[in-house]
Amino acid sequence: MCFNAQNDRRYAESAPNPEERDVVWTQKPKSVMVWAAVCATGKSPLVFIPQGVKINQQAYREMLYEHFLPWAREHFGEDWAFQQDSAPAHFARDTQAMLAEECPDFITNDQWPPSSPDLNPLDYLVWSILESKACAKPHNSIDSLKEALLKAWDEIIVEMLEKIVDDFPKRLEKCIQAQGGHFE
C-alpha cells in the first residue's frame, strides 16, 4: 500500500520508529463487491465480484447460474421463491425470463413496488451485521478484507437469520409507519 498525501493521514512525518509513521486512516479505503442470499434456514456462499467487473444483466445471470441456483436447489429442493431488489440487471427482460424458467417462483418486476427501498432482510440488516463484524478494524489489503468478510459470514448462524427474517415484517411496518405510510 502506498501513501497518498491527499487521501491518507499520518500521526507524525518524522518519528524514530518507521512503524509509527504508518498510515492510520485512509479517506478512500479499498473495497470489495460481494453478493449473497439469505433465508430463515440458511445463507448462500459469499460471492466476491472480481475488481473492475460491472454487474450488467449478463454478469448477473452468470453469477446466478454459477453460485445461486445450485445452492438454492440443494438448500430448498423444488419449493421456493426468489426475491431480489430493483437493480437494473435484476429487472432486465432476459434476467426476468431466466428467473421465470429457473425458479419455482420469484417476484417479477411487475410485482415489485415502484420506488421502494430494498425490501428484504439481507439489505435491511444482514449486510450491516456483516460490515460491522468484518470492518471492526482497518484492513491493509483486499485479501485481509475478504478473509474478514468470510469469517464474519461464517459467524452468522441460522438462528440469527431465522430471527431476522421473522422480525423483518415488524421492522418494515415500523419504518413505513414512521414515514407516514401504511403497511399491508
DSSP letter (8 states) at residue 101: H
pLDDT at 115: 58
Measure Cα distances from 50 to 5, 54, 126, 128 in Å: 28, 9, 22, 21
Residue 2, pLDDT > 50, answer: no
Q: Indicate the CATH number for domain 33-178.
A: 3.30.420.10
- Per cent of the chain over pLDDT 70 is 75
**pTM across the whole model:** 0.74
Q: How do the domains of the chain map onto residue ranges?
A: 33-178
Residue 3, pLDDT > 50, answer: no
